[in-house]
Structure 1
Amino acid sequence: MKPLLSFLTLALSTSTALAGDEARVAVMTAFAPEWKAMQDKISERQEVDINGIKFVLGEIEGKDVVVFMSGVSMVNAAMTTQLAIDNFNISAIVFSGIAGGVNPDYHIGDVIVPARWGQYLEAVFAREVEDGKFVPPSWVKVEWPNYGMIFPRAVDVVQPDGSIKEKFWFESDPELLKVAEKVASEMNLQDCVEENKCLTHAPQIRVGGNGVSGQAFMDNAGFREYTYKTFEASVLDMESAAVAQVAEINQVPFIAFRSLSDLAGGGEGENEMATFMGLAAANSAAVVTAFLKALPDTDSE
């Protein structure tokens, strides 16, 4: 019993010390290229390890930040977001990463900043009752058109009073979106990779609209078209909607910047992510850095 009590005392004292630190903007990435693109932006570095996750405390453009990599997937994203909120004084959460483009008017290299996020693969897989027709259980409320056996549905979200609320969309913070809109009107983005392969369209920053997230890498033209038509989605990824949900429950402002590395199955030939993920990660990191610089100072008391 004594070792357990010692461990709990140490964990509590560490958590309390970190939580008492000055307010910081959490800057998240999902995997190595996104993480690497943020590293040279950080000054006054201090590293903290919690449950094997490296949290880098420091400054970016004069703003106090804690930068960390969640790992790919909805579960990893939700877990590390809550871990950051529990251990640091988080004033806002900013995600910097790459994604697949869904809106056919958008192009690789664009940075998309959606106004809201949904979990488009939260679903019922329905049984086939006759040739080509799928019917979900009678107790399922059908809110969205299905894709074959896949019937999307809202997430059950536990409220502070213990009640359950069905919810599909989780909003980005409106004040943070205003800052993003200002930044979008003032900067240009990278359009060539190191191998001198250049994009055919000058990348743009596009603020607003819908983003969706799910636990699958998407590279299918048919499902991409369905996703665009059903959810009016501009972009899809594997983390942002999970982070948005955790942020909302904890009442922490959230915004995600996602640069298109590929077209989620809409491009010609093999998926483009391997070619353009470095460029996309750099564009997202550049916009996030400019965003942090433009972010108003807040009282950290």
Structure 2
Amino acid sequence: MLKRLAAALTLFCLAFGAPAFAAETLDATPRTAVISAFPPEWTLLQQALQDRKDHDLAGMTFVTGTIEGKPVLLFLSGISMVNAAMTTQLALDHFAVERIVFSGIAGGVDPGLEIGDVVIPERWSEYLEAVFAREKDGGYELPDWADKPDAHFGMIFPQPVKILRKDNPREEHDWFPVDPALLALAKTVADGITLQNCAAQNCLDHRPKIVVGGNGVSGQAFVDNKAFREYVLEAFDAKVLDMESAAVAHVAYVNGKPFIAFRSLSDLAGGGEGENQIRTFFQLASDNAATVVKAFLKALP
């Protein structure tokens, strides 16, 4: 009898559709979401937090409170594009997010940048959205439907991101721009900030700077390869690369939320002499990014 009842209920749901359930709102206060990828990146941000309240969601902690008098939502995205997209959408589904800010470290691509510098790009691209081409006659052959970019890295040919829309099934993007108003605010804030050149007893021989504008790229790989770094510079004219920002920019675009990312260089993505320096300078870079983000939050209207 129970089996027949269950079967009948299943058929009913298939025929008429299962009831839709709205996502539970865990906090209704309009807030700026401030995202970091891994724990060292949000050390200074948590120290600056007032009126802290923790919310558990999907096995993760989302923290509400204020920084510089502004309501914020802090959380870790986890490292990687998939983690970043997933946690950002969770936050949008369960909190009243007005805008999205990313604070974290990155690898430097532009030769004019140094470790500790903070870069605030004006747009982001997903450089590993790509076709891995077939090798043929000493070269590469792409499917006839694929874009054929001028610059590629061996078999890797970058492609535009396809956005799923019921009213525009062919919407494609090579770039996701940051919010112009947020970028303009970042420019006004940058002039008044002095970045540190020492953290955790690790010091630089130069004073880091803030660079506003230019391109950033993200992908599902940690890059520590000089040749690939040079390709990214040529193909995307990128200043920095990381593993999360473009994914968050993508989610922000689809949900119609303003987005901006503050990324400080912890290493040179394979462009430096000797071993990768992320272990030495990740805290310095994290602190510099957070310093700029705190000033940015203070300046928000």
Aligned residue number for residue 248 of structure 1: 253
Aligned residue number for residue 140 of structure 1: 146
Does the 8 Å contact 1:103/1:235 carry over to 2?
yes
Aligned residue number for residue 265 of structure 1: 270
Aligned 1:70-89 pairs, distance under 5 A: 70-89=77-96
Residues 22-71 of structure 1: CA deviation (Å, up to 9, x unaligned): 21000000011112232101110000011011000000000000100010
Aligned residue number for residue 176 of structure 2: 170
Aligned residue number for residue 184 of structure 1: 190
Stretches of structure 1 that go unaligned for 5 or more consecutive residues are 2-7, 297-301
CA distance in 2, matches of 1:159, 1:240: 22
Instruction: Indicate the percent of aligned positions where both proteins have the same amino acid.
Output: 56
- How many residue pairs match? The answer is 285
Question: CA separation of 1:288/1:277 partners in 2, compared to 1, >3 Å: closer, same or farther?
Answer: same
From 193, 210, 214, the counterpart of 2:199: 193
Report the TM-score when normalising by structure 2. Answer: 0.91
Aligned residue number for residue 11 of structure 2: none
Aligned 1:1-301 pairs, distance under 5 A: 12=22, 15-18=24-27, 21-131=28-138, 133-159=139-165, 161=167, 163-195=169-201, 197-296=202-301
Does the 8 Å contact 1:144/1:152 carry over to 2?
no
CA distance in 2, matches of 1:179, 1:160: 34
Stretches of structure 2 that go unaligned for 5 or more consecutive residues are 1-5, 7-17
**Superposition deviation, residue 183 in structure 1:** 1.1
Does the 8 Å contact 1:144/1:153 carry over to 2?
no
Does the 8 Å contact 1:218/1:264 carry over to 2?
yes
Q: Aligned letter for 1:15? A: E
Higher alpha-carbon deviation: 86-95 or 157-166: 157-166
Does the 8 Å contact 2:123/2:175 carry over to 1?
yes
Q: Which has the larger radius of gyration?
A: 2
Residues 191-222 of structure 1: CA deviation (Å, up to 9, x unaligned): 01322x32122101111000000000000000
Residues 204-255 of structure 1: CA deviation (Å, up to 9, x unaligned): 1111000000000000000001101110000000000000010011000000
Report the TM-score when normalising by structure 1. Answer: 0.91
Q: Aligned letter for 2:209? A: Q
